[in-house]
A = this chain, B = another copy of it.
Amino acid sequence: MNAFPPALFKGYLEYKKGKFSDERERYRQLAEDGQSPETLIIACCDSRAAPEIIFNSFPGEIFVIRNVANLVPPFKPDVDYHSTSAAIEFAVQSLKVKHIVVLGHGRCGGIKAALDPDVEPLSPGDFIGRWMDLLAPAAEAMASNQWMTGTERQRTLEHISIRHSLENLRTFPFIAAREREQNISLHGAWFDISGGDLWITEPETGDFFIPEL
């Protein structure tokens, strides 16, 4: 039990011999010059929705925050630790990314929990309960909609959540300012983990669609 997970280490050895070998020079440059990713992706922790896999990324391409249900809290500067806000501040103000993509996905466990009237706190601290409260009004409205199916409520709240995160991004003064100056642009996307389709947010309406290729 104490040994480093063997499957993980085996995967690392495959990577070292394969992909890392091919990218050896790129890694050296990235180490010397530092990273300059153009895109910040805010995604879910879910093991089926990793941005690097979905976007076939190369090292140095994307700066990635991952939390439960790819949420962005509203801007709130105070004396506490704010993990997601700190990472957003670093990406925008230090790395000066040009794009922010909020990437949601189907079958999200956090969204599922937010919709469940009978869900118990996972521990006395109920961290996940408080975290998902970021979606509270919309989640309650969904949960109480007896005419939609479970799948429709799930998918709709996933979409609402992505739009909600985009709005909260705009409560950060430095993001709002850069968006006005057209130095940054915000995008939403939703990945269907079952069929593999990627849906993009239409900027004006917030609707999700599959781009024509």
Q: Which of A85-113 contact B (CB under 8 A)?
A: 85-91, 93-95, 98-99, 101, 106-107, 109-110, 113
The residue in chain B whose Cβ has the minimal distance to the Cβ of A125 is B77
Pick the contact of A194 from B27, B126, B193 — CB < 8 Å? B27
Within A51-75, which residues are at the interface with B (CB < 8 Å)? Answer: 52-57, 59-68, 71, 73, 75
By a CB distance below 8 angstroms, the chain B residues around A45 are 63-65, 87, 90-91
Q: A47-B63, A203-B2 are in contact. Are A19 and B56 (CB under 8 A)?
A: yes
Q: How large is the interface on A (under 10, 10 to 19, 20 to 34, 35 or more residues)?
A: 35 or more
Knowing A34-B107, A68-B87, A122-B89, say if A131 contacts B9 (CB, 8 Å). no
Contact of A196 among B5, B27, B126, B148 (CB under 8 A): B27
Q: Mark A120-137, 1 if CB is under 8 A from B, else 0.
A: 001111111011111001
Q: Are A12 and B109 in contact, CB atoms less than 8 angstroms apart?
A: no
- Name the interface residues of A158-192: CB closer than 8 Å to any CB of B: 159-160, 163-164, 172-174, 182, 185, 187, 189
- A149:B35 contact, CB within 8 angstroms: no
Question: Which of these, B77, B79, B126, contacts A124 with CB under 8 Å?
Answer: B77
Contact B31 A47 (CB under 8 A): no
For A47, give its contact among B35, B77, B127, B198 (CB under 8 Å): B35
A64 to B101, CA, bound (A): 18
Whether B50 and A52, one on each chain, are in contact in the complex, defined by CB atoms closer than 8 angstroms, is yes
- Residues from chain B with a CB closer than 8 A to the CB of A81 are 73, 82, 130-131, 133-134
Whether A50 pairs with B57 at a CB distance below 8 angstroms is: yes
A–B Cβ pairs within 8 angstroms, 23 of them: A1-B185, A2-B185, A2-B203, A5-B99, A5-B187, A12-B55, A15-B56, A16-B198, A37-B47, A45-B90, A45-B91, A47-B59, A48-B59, A53-B57, A65-B66, A68-B83, A71-B83, A81-B133, A89-B127, A90-B109, A90-B110, A94-B113, A152-B156
